[in-house]
Amino acid sequence: MNMSHQGNAALSLPEPLEFGATCAQSYYWRRSQRRPGDPCLNIAARWRLEGPVSIALMERAWQQVVDRHEVLRTVFVEQDDQLVQRVLPHAQFRIRHVDLRGTPPPEQNELSERLGREEAATPFDPFAPPLLRITVLQQADDRAHMLLTTHHLAGDCWANLTLVREFAAICDALSVGATPHLPDAPMQFGDFASWQNAWLAAGGAATVEQYWMRQLDGLSDFTVPTDRAPPVKPTRRGDIFGMMVPPGVAEATLGAARARGSTFFAFGLATFAALLHRWSGHHDILVTTQIAGRDELELETVVGPFINTLALRMACAPETRFSDLLDQTLTTVGEALENGALPFEKLTERIALPVSDRRGPLNGVNFQVLNSAFLKDTRAGAMALRGFPSLSPGAKRDLDVYLVEREVGWRAQCEYDPDLFDEATVAWVVRSFVELLAAVSSDPTQTLAGLPFSPPAAQLAGVERSPRMTAVRAVPVEVMETGASSTPAADNGVRAERLMQLWREAVRCDDPPPAASFFELGGDSMRAARLVARIHDAFGQRVGLARFFQKPTLAGLAERLGVELASAPAPAAVMQKEEDEDDDWRVMEVSPRGSRTPVIGINSVETLFALAREFGEDRHIFGVRLFEPGKPHGIAGKTFPEIAADYIDVIRSIEPKGPYILFGLCVHGVLALEIARQLRAAGDEVEMVCVVNAWHPSYARRLNFLNRQLVRLNDVSWNLRRVFRREKTFVEFLGNYRLAQSSGVLQLAARMGLIDRAPTRTGSEFNDDFLLTLMRARDACEPRDVSGPVMQFLGPDTPKWPGIDHTLGWKPVVNGAIHVHYMPAARPGPDDPGLACIVTHFGRMIETGAARG
C-alpha cells in the first residue's frame, strides 16, 4: 500500500474579508472548543469512481472548487466574545491518495472499509482551511473510492452534493482541455450570515419563535430505552445498520400514503412515532428532522451550513388510530415547515431541558427520507461517480433513522451510538419499523395498541432467521431479497413475474401480448432506456438498447435473460455476457440492408419502426445514437458541428457512401440538418431531411418581445392541457421549466418527501445529462446555408398565429424546398395519429422519390 499526502497550507491576507458567524456555526464552534477533535462534527460521504482515475485531474478540479467558495477558505476567530469568519484569498488543496493496487483483491474491500471509517472519524483542525478533505482509495487503474469529508462549520449534506456537481462539471471541461465555465455564485455564505444576523437583530424571528415555544410547551426530553447507561466519557463513535425494504412493502406504503393524501415522509414519520410509542411507553413523542434551509433561489448553489432542524411533536395513545395519528402528523409537519426559519440553535437555547456532554436537548431521535433525486449519480470527465452507503463519523444523536431511495429500491437504515445500543437492538428497531410500515399500509384504521409489536428481547431471536428481510451492516453492496424459494422453478417464476411487471410499467398496459412490439404498444426511446436500466438493476444482466431494438418484445427480452414465460416456449439460451464484443451499441438496426436509399434516424427509433413496417422492404433503416445507459456519452465540451461529425463517423461505419435520408425529432432534428450539411459539403448526396418540431437555435431569440411571450404562454398552456388529460403529472409539468428546476423547489420537495422524486428537465432520468449537454451545444450554434429538401412536421403545440414563421426559422437559411405538415396530437399506442401522419407523408415522399424534385 502506497500513501501520499501533502498538508494543506493557507495564504494570509493583509486585510481579509470578515463576516459574523451564523447561529449554527457558533454552536459548532462552541462544541468544538468543549470537545476538541469531536468526529460528530464531520460530514462523510463517498462515491465509487469507475473509469480511468486521474489524481492530477481531480486535484486541479477540487482546487478550483475551493477557489469558488469562500467558506472553504475561511478561518474562524473569536473577537469580543463573538465568532468571526475570516476569508482568505487562497487555500492550497491536496488530495490524499492511497494506492491499494498492490493489495490482493480479496483484501481490498475490507481495507477500503477500514480506511473509510478512519477517514470519516478523523477530526479537523477548525483553524486551518480548507475544511474539506478528499481521500482517494485507488483499487485499480479504473476503479477507486472517493471519500469526501467536510466540517459542519463549512457545509452540510446538501452542500456536499453541490461540491460534487461542480467538481464533475470542472472535470468534464478539464478532461477535454477546455476552460470550465460554471456560473458565478450569486452570493457567498458570508453574505447569508450577515443577513441572518441582521434579521435576528431586527426581531425577524419573533413570530416563529413564539410558535415553537407554544408547540414545545410542557415537553419533557424524549428518550428511548437503551441497552446501557451512557459512559462517563463518550467515545464519540457511530455505526450504521441497514436493510432493504421488500419491494412489496415499499409499493404498498407509497400507495397507502397517496390514498390518504399524505406524503411519503409524513406516512413514514407517523409509523416511526407509533413504534417509538410502543417501545418507550411514552405518549408525548418528539422526533427531529432536517430541512435544506435554502428557501431562496440564490442560495441553491451556495456552499455552507444552511441545513436546519425541526422538532416534530406528536401525541400517541394506545387507543389512537393510525389514520388519526397520520392526520396529526401532516398538520405538525406543515406547520413546522411554515415556521422553519428559526435557527434550531436559537430554539434549544430557550428550552429548559438538560444538556449532556453527549448531545444537546431535542437531539435524541431523528427521522429523514432521502429520495434518489437527492442522491443522483453523475460523471466527472471519463469517470462515473456512483454514490453508495456512507460511513458514520460519529453518532450525532441516539438514533437516526433514514428511508433512502436507491436504484435498487428503498433502504431502511439507522445510524446509532454504540455507547448506548447493541447492534442487535438497532436491527430490531429497523426491522420493526419495516414491519409496521407493512401493517399500517394494509389497514391504516388500526389502533396503535392493535399494531403488531414484540419487545426487543422477544424479537431479536428472529432477526437472523428471517429470509425475507436480510439486513446488511454498512456495506457498499445493496441487498434485495426476492422472497422466493431456491428451487429453479420457483426462481424462474419470480424472475418471470418481475420481468412482466417491468414490461407492464414501461408500456403502461395491464396485459400486453408477449410478441407485441414495444413501440407498437406506445413505447418510445426514453421508456426503452428506462426499461433496460431497470432490468439491469433487477436481474444483474445488461441488455443493451441496440440488442433490445433488434427484438423489442417481451418474449425477446425473456429469451435474452433466460426467463421462461408461462405463455411462451422455454428460451433457447441464456445470455452469458452483457454484450457481444462485436456489437456497436451506437447503431440500432431496424430493417436489413437493401438496394434503396437508407433511412437513418438520429437518436429516434419509434418512428423508424413504424416506417419499417410500411416501407422497410429492400430499404436499410437504422438509428444512430451516442448515448447508452451506463456508458459515457463523450459530448461534453464539444461544439454542435463536432457532435454532428461524431454521428457521421458512425453513419459511415455502416453506410460508407450516400445517398442518405435523415430523420430526427426536436434537437435531434437540428442535429440531422447539421449532419446533412456536413455530408453534402463532403460530396455525399442527401436526398432529404425530415424533422419534427425542430426550431432553428436562434429563432426564438429573434422574435419580438410580444411573440416571445406568446410562445411561452402557448407552451405552458399546451403542457397544462397534457396535465389535465393525465398525459403527464403536474410535477413533471413543472420539471420542464428552467425556473422550477433552478429554484431548487422541486429538489427540496423531493428531499422532504412532498413528492416522490424531482423530475428531470428533459423527462428522462437516464439520458438527461446527454440531452441537456446536446441542447446547450445546439443553443450556441448558428446553422446557415443548409441545403434542401427539408420536411418539417409541426405538432399541435407549435404556434401558428400570424408573425410566426411556420418553418420555425429555417426559411432564411435553407437553400431548397421546405415541406411543412401539421400533425394531430400524438396518442400512445399502435393507433397514434401523430405517428401515422409522419408515416403517411414522409413515407410517401421517400417511396415516390418526390424529395428529389
**Alpha carbon of 801 to those of 710, 776, 797: distances in Å?**
10, 28, 12
Q: Decide if pLDDT at 766 tops 70.
A: no
| Same structural domain, 125 and 266 | no
3-class SS string, 186-219: CCCHHHHHHHHHHHHHCCCCHHHHHHHHHHCCCC
In a domain, 757, yes or no: no
Q: Decide if pLDDT at 542 tops 70.
A: no
Which of 173-177, 583-587, 777-781 is the least confident region?
583-587
- CA dist 274 and 285 (Å) reads 9
| Same structural domain, 600 and 527 | no
| Same structural domain, 406 and 451 | yes
| Same structural domain, 105 and 84 | yes
In a domain, 205, yes or no: no
Q: For residue 401, what is the enclosing H or E element?
A: strand 399-406
| Same structural domain, 396 and 350 | yes
Structure confidence at residue 141 (pLDDT)? 94
Q: Which three cell numbers stand for residue 55?
A: 489524481
| Same structural domain, 792 and 649 | yes
Which of 85-99, 467-481, 514-528, 768-782 is the least confident region?
467-481
In a domain, 725, yes or no: no
Range 664-691 average pLDDT: 91
Domain end point (choices 472, 492, 527): 472
Alpha helices, H only, 562-698: 606-615, 640-654, 667-681
Structure confidence at residue 770 (pLDDT)? 81
Range 150-178 average pLDDT: 90
Q: Categorize the per-residue pLDDT at 166 as very low, low, confident or very high, splitting at 50, 70 and 90.
A: very high
Report the percentage of the chain scoring pLDDT > 70: 76
| Same structural domain, 148 and 227 | no
Average predicted confidence (pLDDT) for the chain: 79
Burial class (CB in 10 A: 0-12, 13-18, 19+), 261: exposed
Of residues 152 and 704, more confidently modeled: 152
Structure confidence at residue 732 (pLDDT)? 55
Of residues 816 and 152, more confidently modeled: 152
| Same structural domain, 146 and 282 | no
Strand pairing category for 378-380 and 17-20: unpaired
- CA dist 292 and 300 (Å) reads 9
| Same structural domain, 807 and 850 | yes
**Alpha carbon of 741 to those of 379, 716, 747: distances in Å?**
20, 15, 8
Range 477-506 average pLDDT: 59
Which of 224-228, 403-407, 454-458, 727-731 is the least confident region?
727-731
Q: What is the CATH number of the domain that holds 545?
A: 1.10.1200.10
Structure confidence at residue 360 (pLDDT)? 63
In a domain, 207, yes or no: no
Please identify which residue in the block is written with the cell numbers 446557415. Answer: 784
Q: Which of 244, 61, 31 is nearest to 146 (CA)?
A: 61
Burial class (CB in 10 A: 0-12, 13-18, 19+), 821: middle
| Same structural domain, 143 and 281 | no
Structure confidence at residue 324 (pLDDT)? 94
**Domain region containing 177:** 2-188
Q: Decide if pLDDT at 575 tops 50.
A: no
Q: What is the CATH number of the domain that holds 647?
A: 3.40.50.1820
| Same structural domain, 409 and 501 | no
In a domain, 657, yes or no: yes
Number of separate domains in the chain: 4
In a domain, 353, yes or no: yes
Domain end point (choices 472, 497, 526): 472
pTM: 0.54
Range 707-711 average pLDDT: 68
In a domain, 711, yes or no: no
Structure confidence at residue 350 (pLDDT)? 80
| DSSP string of 98-126, one letter each residue | EE-TTS-HHHHHHHHHHHHHHHHHPPP-T
Q: Decide if pLDDT at 522 tops 60.
A: yes
Q: What is the CATH number of the domain that holds 438?
A: 3.30.559.30
Structure confidence at residue 163 (pLDDT)? 92
- Count other C-beta atoms under 10 Å from residue 461's C-beta: 10
CA angle 277, 279, 282 (to 5 degrees): 40
Range 292-318 average pLDDT: 85
Structure confidence at residue 608 (pLDDT)? 81
**Alpha carbon of 560 to those of 200, 542, 548: distances in Å?**
63, 10, 9
Q: Decide if pLDDT at 69 tops 90.
A: yes
In a domain, 741, yes or no: no
Structure confidence at residue 357 (pLDDT)? 54
Of residues 622 and 788, more confidently modeled: 622
| Same structural domain, 468 and 489 | no
Of 236-245, 718-727, 781-790, highest mean pLDDT:
236-245
pLDDT tens digits for range 637-650: 889 999 999 999 99
Q: Decide if pLDDT at 16 tops 60.
A: no
Q: Decide if pLDDT at 529 tops 60.
A: yes
- CA dist 818 and 673 (Å) reads 12
Which 8-state DSSP code applies to residue 812? Answer: T
Yes or no: say if 263 and 329 are a contact pair by the CB < 8 Å rule.
Answer: no
Domain end point (choices 188, 214, 233): 188
Report the percentage of the chain scoring pLDDT > 90: 29
Structure confidence at residue 823 (pLDDT)? 79
